[in-house]
Amino acid sequence: MGWKRGETRRKRGGPQKLAGLTEALQPQFQLQLLGPGQLVVEGYRGILEYQPDQIRLALPGRMLQVQGESLTMKCMTGESMILEGRITGLNLVE
C-alpha cells in the first residue's frame, strides 16, 4: 500500500515519546531554603554523612552538601526531610 499525495504519515510514539523525554529531563529533587535555619529536601536517595556541622545527602545524579552549625534532621520520610540549624552553605556536586 503506497502513500497518496496529501496524506500525512503518523510517526510511531510521537507525543508519548516526547512526554517520556520531558519527564526524564525534569529535576528529580527539590530544595527549599526557608530562611537561614531550615532546608526542605524532597527526592533524596540516602544519607551519606551526618555531623552537627555538615550533612551530605545522595540526590538523583548528584550529592548535596549542607554546611552549618547545630544541624539536625527535624522530620524525615522516605522521600523528603527537613534540616534545621544555622545553615551557612549549600553545595551540589555532580
Predicted model pTM: 0.70
Spatial distance between the Cα atoms of 77 and 40, rounded to a whole number of angstroms: 11
Domain segments of the chain as ranges: 28-93
Q: Is CATH 3.30.465.10 the classification given to domain 28-93?
A: no
Looking at residue 55, what is its pLDDT? 97
| Ramachandran region, residue 53 (left: φ > 0; alpha: ψ -120 to 50; beta: rest) | alpha
What pLDDT is attached to residue 32? 95
Alpha helices for 4-69 (secondary structure H): 14-25
pLDDT of 21: 60
* pLDDT at res. 9: 57
Positions of the chain with pLDDT under 70: 1-27
